[in-house]
Amino acid sequence: MFEAKVTIGLKKGITDPEGANTLKALKLLGFTNVQEAKTTHTVDLIIDGGSKEEVKKSVEQMCQRLLTNPVIHTYKIEIIEK
């Protein structure tokens, strides 16, 4: 059994309104040393699989087919053996 953590973010150049609003609010609260705020989201999956490599390959396909939009998203996959 494996846990897959997929962290999905926006590519450089894609507007991140939530990140921009977070940065603005932090500066208004006095956190003037913050230079950038980016938002990401994480999808956690529990997967039965033979090997770590097979599971990563399967999660890669999930990302390409459903979890992300390759035009605007970047993603990072972390596989943890349970």
Long-range contacts of 40-43 (CB under 8 A, 24+ apart): 40/7, 40/8, 40/9, 41/7, 41/8, 42/5, 42/6, 42/7, 42/8, 43/5, 43/6, 43/8, 43/67
Q: What CATH number corresponds to the domain at position 50? A: 3.30.1280.10
Q: Above 90 in pLDDT, residue 4?
A: yes
Residue span of the structural domain in which 46 resides = 2-81
Q: Above 90 in pLDDT, residue 14?
A: yes
Q: What is the reported pTM?
A: 0.88
Between 49 and 23, where is the model more confident?
Answer: 23
pLDDT in tens, 31-71: 999 999 999 999 999 999 889 999 999 999 999 999 999 99
Structural domain count, the chain: 1
